[in-house]
Amino acid sequence: MKIVTGWLAFAALLVGSLSFAADKQAPVRTGTGVMTFETVPGWGLRPDGSSSLGSTHGGVVIDKEGNIYTSAAKGVVVFSPDGKVVKEYLGGDYTNLHDMKIVAEDKGEFIYGARNNNAEGIKFNAHTGEVAFKLPFPKESGLGLTKFSPTAITVAPNGDIFLSDGYASNYVFKFDKTGKYLKHFGEKGNDLKQFNTAHGMVLDTRYDPPRLLICDRNHTPKGRLVHYDLDGNFLGEVVTGLGMPTSAAVQGDYVAIPDLSGKLTIIDKENKVISVLGENPDPNKGRNFGIKQDQWVEGVFSGTHGAYWDKDGNLYIQDWNTDGRIMKLVRVKQ
C-alpha cells in the first residue's frame, strides 16, 4: 500500500501563481423544493485547476470526521470537506473499486468495496488502508460461473455482507461478517424477480427492519429499484422508469439515485420522485465516459455513478468520466 498525503497537492501552490476558470464560475442552482442545491465550482480540483482523480468509475463515502473518499482507476482519493486532497491509497488492492460502503465498527471505520475488474469484494480500514479480508467468488456456492464481476456491496446491521455480481451472473451473494459464504439469490433476466444488471445496492434504513434497495439498471421496464429482505426474499418494485440507476444513497427519508444518463434523482419515503438534479439536456453527453474536463458544464452531469450525503444534507457526486469528476452540491436552506 502506498499512501500519499495532501501536502503533495499543496506543493503545487509553490509553482507559479496559477489560477483556473472554476474560480470565476458562479454556483449553479439545481433541483426543486426542499431538495434544491447549489454547486461549489472547482471543488476537488488541484490548485492548477486539473482533476485530482484521473479516470473514475466508482463510488463515494464519508467518514465520521467528514472526509470524503472516492474511488478511481488509480485507487482511493480522500478529500477534506473543502475539497483539498488529504491522502490517497494508490494501486494494488485499492484500484477499480466500483462501489464502496463505510461502516463504523468496534475496531474503527472500515470501507467495503466491490471490484468488478478484479473479481472480488474487499474490506479495509478507512484510516490506515490495512486490508482485513477479500471476498473472491465463493466456490462453495456450487455455481459454475465462468465470470465474476461484482458491482455493488453493502453491509447489514449484524455485519452480514451482500455482494452483487452485477456485470456477470446477477446473483447477489451473502456472506457473514467474517467473509464466510452463506447463500445467494436472484438471477439474470427481465422477469419480476430477476435482475438485468444489478448495478447498485444499499441498505434501505427508511424501513424497520432495514432491507436491501437494489438498482436494477437495465431491466425492462428500464431503470427500476427493487426491495429484498435480508434473507434474500423479493419484497417488490420500489419505482420504475428512472433511466439507468447506478447506485443509491439513503439519508433519513430520502434516497439519492445517480443515473448514468446524466442526472441524479431524489425520492422520498413514499418512493415518489421529488427532485431531479443536474440533468444533461444533450443525449450525446449523457452516459458518456469521454467528456473531457474542458467540456464539463457546471451543474450538469455526464455519467452520474456514485453519491453520498454528508451530515448537513449536502451531496457529493461522482461522474463516470475519463478525467475524473467529483462535485459537491450544497443543500439550499429553505
Looking at residue 202, what is its pLDDT? 98
Asked if the structure places residue 174 within a domain, the reply is yes
* pLDDT beyond 80 at 228: yes
pLDDT at 47: 96
* Per-residue pLDDT, 221: 75
Mean pLDDT of 236-244: 96
What's the sign of the alpha-carbon dihedral 127, 133, 135, 136?
Answer: positive
Beta-bridged to residue 328, according to DSSP, are 316
Same domain, 100 and 88: no
- 262, part of any domain: no
Q: Indicate whether 207 and 176 sit together in one domain.
A: yes
In terms of domains, do 35 and 144 share one? Answer: no
| In a domain? residue 231 | yes
Is residue 135 situated within a structural domain? Answer: yes
User: Chain-wide mean pLDDT for the chain?
Assistant: 93
> Are 168 and 308 within one domain?
no
User: Given this model, what pLDDT does residue 1 score?
Assistant: 58
Note whether 36 and 89 are same-domain residues: yes
Last residue of a domain, one of 220, 246, 272: 246
The CATH number for 161's domain is: 2.120.10.30
Domains contained in the chain, number: 2
The pTM for the full model equals 0.93
> Is residue 147 in some structural domain?
yes
Same domain as 162, residue 100: yes
Domain that holds residue 216: 96-246
Q: Categorize the per-residue pLDDT at 4 as very low, low, confident or very high, splitting at 50, 70 and 90.
A: low
If asked whether residues 43 and 154 sit together in one domain, one would say: no
Least confident of 12-21, 57-66, 147-156: 12-21
Q: Give residue 334's pLDDT band: very low, low, confident or very high (50, 70, 90).
A: confident
The answer to whether residues 82 and 119 belong to one domain is: no
Q: Which of 221, 246, 271 is the last residue of a domain?
A: 246
Same domain, 142 and 214: yes
Strand 211-216, strand 224-228: pairing: antiparallel
Provide the pLDDT confidence category of residue 19 given band limits of 50, 70 and 90: very low
The mean pLDDT of 162-174, rounded to a whole number, is: 98
pLDDT in tens, 259-312: 999 999 999 999 999 999 999 999 899 999 999 999 999 999 999 999 999 999
Nearest-angstrom CA–CA distance, 8 and 84: 11
Cell of 29: 442552482
* Cα-Cα-Cα-Cα dihedral sign, residues 223, 226, 232, 233: negative
- Confidence category of residue 14, pLDDT binned at 50, 70, 90: very low
Number of alpha carbons in the 13 Å side-chain half-sphere of residue 73: 10
What integer pLDDT is reported at residue 222 of this predicted model?
Answer: 78
Q: What is the mean pLDDT of residues 226-235?
A: 98
Q: 266 lies in a domain?
A: no
| 101 shares a domain with 239 | yes
* 188-218: pLDDT as tens digits: 999 999 999 999 999 999 999 999 999 999 9
* Residue 127, domain member (yes or no): yes
Q: What percent of the chain has pLDDT over 70?
A: 93
